[in-house]
Amino acid sequence: MAGVSDVRHVLVLPDRDSAEEAAQALGVRFGIREEPQLVRDALAGEDDAEDAQWLVVLRDEEERLDPGELDEFAAQWDGWREEP
């Protein structure tokens, strides 16, 4: 589809609680209307849920979210923003 941007940001957080808190706070801090998607990301070769990271995936078709601000936001939960 020409003209439609599929910009996504992925925040990597250490646990589910952090991911859920961050997802809720995104709406307040950045005015995000759409609920971010939470995804469990098991580390390679690890079956234990304790060793899973959680991803918070949010769409930004209008490209209005500043990557630097998202970096700082994720750091509040000992996380980071993945580069696309």
User: CB under 8 Å to 79, separation ≥6 — which residues?
Assistant: 11, 12, 13, 14, 18, 22
Q: How many CB atoms lie within 10 A of CB 75?
A: 12
Whole-number Å distance between alpha carbons of 5 and 18: 28
* Spans of the chain, pLDDT less than 50: 1-3
The model's pLDDT over 7-23, given as tens digits with 9 standing for 90+, comes to: 899 999 999 999 999 99
Q: Is 52 exposed, middle or buried (0-12, 13-18, 19+ CB in 10 A)?
A: middle
Where do the domains of the chain lie, and which CATH numbers do they carry? 8-82 (3.30.70.3450)
pTM, full prediction:
0.82
